Amino acid sequence: MYSFCSVERTTQESRGFSHERFKIGSAELDIDGILPDGSTEAVFRKGAWAFDI
């Protein structure tokens, strides 16, 4: 938990020592985002980001 998430916790109580990484999707996964005008934009293509982040 981040210290700004809870006013009842001290900074020491809010610090964590673990960091988790995970992957989503597979080589078959395609994700498109829908923009406010209704058009779509590629987010994931074949399990990889469709743009540089």
pLDDT single digits (tens) 34-49 = 999 999 999 999 988 9
Tokens found for residue 43? 């987010």
User: Is residue 3 in a domain?
Assistant: no
Q: What percent of the chain has pLDDT over 90?
A: 34
Distance CA 34, CA 28 (A): 20
Separation of CA 43 from chain center:
12
Residue 8 placed within a domain = no
Residue 50 lies in a domain: yes
Check residue 37 and report its DSSP letter.
T
Mean pLDDT, the chain, integer? 78
Q: What is the pTM of this model?
A: 0.51
> How many Cβ atoms from other residues are within 10 Å of residue 49's Cβ?
11
User: Of 31, 32, 33, which is closest to residue 47 (Cα–Cα)?
Assistant: 31
Domain that holds residue 51: 22-53
